[in-house]
Structure 1
């Protein structure tokens, strides 16, 4: 049997939080909804079993002690565990305490991808998601039996879920134990299964899951909704529902952390004389003051008009990059006026500077500088 610590990739001194983080990381990689391969499915089962053992303090302690724990004290009082080991392997002694396995199992987790517009993540939004999943059968309420009936005790194993057989070996006749083939280890048989769910205790259906998506989420972020996944067999507990966010591209605004970026095209005359303009932001109109003599690639910062921070108070900023538009078509009168202006204001000769690709490349360099 694989070592549980090796399966999760943690040391034997790992804390509970480290074990939980390792399980979540592996579960995201191996979950059948994400990785449908048969090999991944088997690894997912191993990872889940290892986590179930190591996340429980008592089970982990027993696992760490191992079968040899009964000999640690060196006295006769510690040989009780040896009897348990012998019984496990050879089926002797005063009867098994393991008992039949339960039909109720935890449901699988589910992953849904949610697409959002940029304006929806500024303050958060609400969605009613339609999920195709397994829900508890309303006819039998998860019992798997036709209404008015109940499971009957298996007449092969008499409710123990296992069969003991005598096997000849070098040690003589040895008792071995194996799951009952008639009831598959459950100890009971569904003689009259529910007609609605075919004895599964659950059915496939579409249901609505209301979700409040917090402000500040970004593409790739996953939100966990415990207990919102599919119901398990025989009415077992629900798995979890994971929501993976994807923010759609916006034609005007882009995101840089909690800040929003955009470009404001300013006519040359407005750049020379200065002006105040009203622009439509994602959360309402904003007045932007253009000071006289503004240059291309200058950045105007409007405080607290960006994205609400996911973990923390306040919002980011709206950063507006200025792009001065030079007219390309002038009539004779306009050209004469520009020539008169140029004659009165001698400008420095054009000079070379470092090449930068695009307006926002210049803006990024300004912030980094």
Structure 2
């Protein structure tokens, strides 16, 4: 648990409500980061500080686990929850013993400064944290979505700053232990009764360390955006708009923690011939009047395979759908769905003399039967 979080309103920093969705948080962050990025406002210290605050807020709220922990921590402090001073690990939860460290293991640093932990010091052990989840998108052809494909994805995630390795201090320097709290990150606040409450140190804001010379890359936050290109396998049978989770392909964890997950939203381009209905593929094939009336055996294309022969029974009406089994998209159980074939009876727009004579002969042979007679049975 991070002792700095409870006094910061990350929702207010990003300008979103406490029940904002992940998409809303991401949209707000992108707009604010674009407006306040140091590259857009060189030399503007206020913009740098604002960008740092925005990045920190997004780093917490974009991660489901961190966001849950943050909400619980804020709720605990808001309700006035506390422990007697000196009980357990020093106040609230494990504030006196644990820190995220911003991606840097401060135990070695503090151990060296105090000779392995002399009198009057408190041991701080950097806690492993799971990396943030990362969102990406991929656009596939219809055939690749059905058959599966490996694509190259370029992702950007928040990781330990490569310049300072997560310390927040300029290269060649190190943070110093906060003299006010002696590295604990917490201070005691007397309540006037038998109990005392622990709260983040005013001097270091709960970090336990003070950065005198901030890293120019991350402006002292210890975190920076990192871009990676990776080969990702998209499974066969994905649908347009489907969101795929790839475990362990997200941002790297902190202090030995596991990596986050990568979520890929798939966009599928339409096919000129085939469509999709669930796991079944669809196709419309034209047939002539005589084929529909007298019956026929026709050839039907399949996606990525050899054509199949389909028997059209005599008297088949326009719009009737047949099923070619096993010629559809792959299902989750490894089997294949079907190809749904809908016939479209073609009516010629022009007739030559011989064809016209044949159709007129057919009209006479119908003996004047009216196919709409049933519509008027019983009167209006």
Measured in 2, the distance between the counterparts of 1:258 and 1:232 equals: 37
Measured in 1, the distance between the counterparts of 2:247 and 2:88 equals: 42
Task: Give 2:100's match in structure 1, choosing from 99, 102, 114.
Answer: 102
8 Å Cα contact 2:62-2:132 kept in structure 1: no
1:151: how far off? Answer: 3.0
Measured in 1, the distance between the counterparts of 2:63 and 2:366 equals: 78
The reply on whether 1:246 has 2:244 as its aligned counterpart is no
Measured in 2, the distance between the counterparts of 1:94 and 1:232 equals: 25
The reply on whether 1:137 has 2:161 as its aligned counterpart is yes
Task: Give 1:305's match in structure 2, choosing from 303, 308, 327.
Answer: 327
8 Å Cα contact 1:260-1:318 kept in structure 2: yes
8 Å Cα contact 1:144-1:234 kept in structure 2: no
1:50: how far off? Answer: 8.6
Query: Scaled by the length of structure 2, what TM-score is found?
Result: 0.62
1:280-299 pair list within 5 angstroms: 280-291=301-312, 293=314, 294-299=316-321
Measured in 1, the distance between the counterparts of 2:211 and 2:371 equals: 90
8 Å Cα contact 2:95-2:185 kept in structure 1: no
1:80-91 pair list within 5 angstroms: 85-87=83-85
Paired residue for 2:204?
183
Structure 1 residues 245, 204: closer, same or farther in 2, change over 3 A? same
Measured in 1, the distance between the counterparts of 2:155 and 2:131 equals: 15
RMSD over aligned Cα atoms: 4.5
Q: What does the per-residue CA deviation read over 1:292-330, in whole Å, with 9 as the maximum and x for residues that have no partner? A: 634322322211111101x21211111111111122322
8 Å Cα contact 2:142-2:269 kept in structure 1: yes
1:324-343 pair list within 5 angstroms: 324-343=345-364
Q: What does the per-residue CA deviation read over 1:195-246, in whole Å, with 9 as the maximum and x for residues that have no partner? A: 4444433432432132211122223432223343345789976443222233
Matched residue SS, 2:101? coil
Task: Give 1:33's match in structure 2, choosing from 26, 31, 36.
Answer: 26
State how many pairs are aligned.
298
Matched residue SS, 1:32? helix
Paired residue for 1:162?
186
8 Å Cα contact 2:298-2:312 kept in structure 1: no
Paired residue for 1:259?
280
For structure 2, which runs of at least 5 residues remain unmatched after alignment? 1-18, 33-56, 71-75, 103-128, 376-380
Measured in 2, the distance between the counterparts of 1:51 and 1:353 equals: 66
Q: What does the per-residue CA deviation read over 1:245-290, in whole Å, with 9 as the maximum and x for residues that have no partner? A: 3333334322221111221111224445655544443223413335
Matched residue SS, 1:113? strand
Structure 1 residues 219, 196: closer, same or farther in 2, change over 3 A? same
Matched residue SS, 1:121? helix
8 Å Cα contact 1:133-1:230 kept in structure 2: yes
The reply on whether 1:206 has 2:227 as its aligned counterpart is yes
Structure 1 residues 228, 285: closer, same or farther in 2, change over 3 A? same
Deviates further, 272-281 or 204-213: 272-281
1:188: how far off? Answer: 1.7
Matched residue SS, 1:340? helix
For structure 1, which runs of at least 5 residues remain unmatched after alignment? 1-25, 54-62, 69-83, 355-369
Structure 1 residues 193, 348: closer, same or farther in 2, change over 3 A? same
Structure 1 residues 117, 205: closer, same or farther in 2, change over 3 A? same
